[in-house]
Amino acid sequence: MAEPARVAASEADLIALARALVAGPPADVRALLRRTRALPPMISTAAARLIGDALAQVWPALWRGSATGTGRPAAPRARFWQDHAPVGLTFSVATLQLLRWVLAGRAREPERDGGAAEALASEMPLTLGDQVMVYLALDATAGMAVQAQLAAQPLVRSAALAWLGFADRLGGPTGCEFDPLCRGAGAIVVEVLAPALARRWRAAELDKRGIAAPEALIALGAAQDSVLGGFMTACDRSGRRDLAGFVIDAAAPLVDRAIAPLPLALDPSATLASRSAARRAAGALLRGVATWAAWDRAHRGVRFIDDDYPTAQRLLARFEAISPAGAARAEAWLTELAALPTVPAGTVDAS
Amino acid sequence: MSRAIQVRVSESLTRTVHVEDGVVAPLELLPILPPARMAALLAHELAARGFRRDGRRCTRTEPDGLEVTLDLEAATVAVALGAHVQLDEAVELSAAVAVESDDQARAALRDRAHEVLGDRLAARTFALQRAVTARLEAKVAALKRELDAAIGRATVAALTEKAAELGRIEETHLDEAGNLTIRVRL
């Protein structure tokens, strides 16, 4: 029987963090991040192998994660390995950098060493595996101060998947290309994450109703608009409009229950210009629904004899959760958000 | 033994401040007739309300400086209000210091006076901005009602023209709720 691999204590923490990010639960990540520790500049081959073993579990972890949270997926789905041929995920040194940065904790306590926070950046483009780990790290640190610090790091902001899942946390327009997420393994990752993406976008939609600072809402809207615009254009270009289905799943319950993304608590001392811009920005997800509605109209025109008839039929069925009536309601909300603001009588001092 | 003296510094500041606020919103004009004709009908209604047409734009400047600009092609309305005022502030500060540190004390008092003046002007500028915003909000609410009425009348005119294209109009009735009935003989 082979002897268990021996690693240093700091390496054991790195391995534990990789396992916790991949397999959860988030409490394990929280426990690991409670203390800061010094990490040597290199890791042993045994530690590298064990981290590699943990990363090899990413696919099943993604599948499990997509089905947890607020509930099961809306519709029964085949396991993704039944729908797709096996495809490997590659990881680069950026994943190790990410693990070390999260674990080192120096960024969380920049004053500890009397210096500035160490930036997390990568000179090489991120692989899809790296992007998945960035996504999982942002997910596992939800509700912790480190998530905001992580979201500000150049390496994280260069991950298109991070933008897709956490546009509300990253803020500002993205410069990422989304085409790699619409083909090959990238498309499978997005497909698997779709229920989680829908939950996250719906939660952001509800949160924006309570935002008071117009600048915050404008930044959030810019991020969401650039992400949805870029991603849906990429889906269209790749012939994979179905990948944008999470937009429907995020918006459908809100449209159904008439929960408009009207910002109800905007700071009344802000200028009317900034409040109007904030109201327009609040409609980012509705603009995604409007894009889907335009696609839906096009799908209705696809004839039985056309090559893409089966795809159009599938997408028509997909959009039924919102339906043309729901799309009209979303359109009316967008009009309301963009209209001249009305002020209840007696609330304005016009002296 | 050093002697104590009273140092007094007076500073005043005059600054011309311009604050403005504005909003741009789409017009909800139904496409009953071709865009150019709809624009002409709306421009006609706006002219009756004091707007001047200049190409694709209709503008009106009110006595209090409110500028309303409608872009008939883009179907947008822009409303802006500004205020241009001269703010004067003065401050006098004093301190008891040793005679040999007179120069340093004066410099420190002068710096402090500049800070106080800057803070006061910033507060007055902010208050002015809020006042402009509040006036604009009140104006926008009234303007919205006025534009809704103008667009409503332009829509009625467009529907009447459309009906006339279909046949001979025998009767037109607009009730108090704004419902329009046009009886046409084909």
Angle separating helix axes A58-67 and A128-140, nearest 10 degrees: 40
pLDDT tens per residue across span B40-83: 999 999 999 999 999 899 999 999 899 999 999 999 999 999 99
Contacts of A340 in chain B (CB under 8 A): 23, 25, 77, 79, 140, 143-144, 147
Contacts of A287 in chain B (CB under 8 A): none
Q: Is the predicted pLDDT of residue A216 greater than 60, yes or no?
A: yes
Q: Is the predicted pLDDT of residue A42 greater than 90, yes or no?
A: no
Angle separating helix axes A58-67 and A9-23, nearest 10 degrees: 50
Sign of CA dihedral A202, A203, A205, A209: positive
CA angle A184, A187, A188 (to 5 degrees): 90
CB contact under 8 A, A338 and B22: no
Q: Which of A272, A287, A349 to mutate to test the interface with B (most CBs of B within 10 A)?
A: A272
Q: Is the predicted pLDDT of residue A71 greater than 90, yes or no?
A: no
Sign of CA dihedral B37, B42, B46, B52: negative
Q: What is the pLDDT of residue A5?
A: 73
Contacts of B21 in chain A (CB under 8 A): 271-273
CB contact under 8 A, A340 and B140: yes
Q: Residue A342 corresponds to which tokens in the numbers above?
A: 């009305």
Q: Nearest CA of chain B to the CA of A349: how many Å?
A: 6
Q: Is the predicted pLDDT of residue A66 greater than 70, yes or no?
A: no
Whether residue A231 contacts residue A256, with contact meaning beta carbons closer than 8 Å, is answered with no
Nearest in space to A276 (alpha carbons), one of A211, A201, A341: A341
Which of A272, A335, A351 is the closest to B137 by Cβ? A272
Strand partners, B84: B18
Separation between Cα atoms, residue A128 and residue A122, nearest integer Å: 14
CB contact under 8 A, B133 and A341: no
H helix or E strand, kind and range, residue B158: helix B102-166
Q: What is the pLDDT of residue B118?
A: 93
Contacts of B77 in chain A (CB under 8 A): 340
**DSSP letters spanning A242-277:** GGGHHHHHHHHHHHHTT-----S---TTS-HHHHHH
Which of B23, B26, B134 is the closest to A348 by Cβ? B134
- The A-side interface with B (CB below 8 A) comprises 269-273, 276, 335, 338-343, 348-351
**% of chain B at pLDDT higher than 70:** 99
Q: Which of A20-24, A85-89, A263-267, B35-39 has the lowest mean pLDDT?
A: A85-89
Q: Is the predicted pLDDT of residue A343 greater than 70, yes or no?
A: no
Q: Residue A143 corresponds to which tokens in the numbers above?
A: 């509700």
Q: Which residue of B has its CA nearest to A337?
A: B25
Q: Nearest CA of chain A to the CA of B130: how many Å?
A: 6
Of A122 and B136, more confident: B136
CB contact under 8 A, A350 and B130: no
Q: Nearest CA of chain A to the CA of B169: how many Å?
A: 33
Nearest in space to A154 (alpha carbons), one of A130, A118, A121, A107: A121
CB contact under 8 A, A342 and B143: no
Q: What is the pLDDT of residue A108?
A: 54
Separation between Cα atoms, residue A69 and residue B62, nearest integer Å: 56
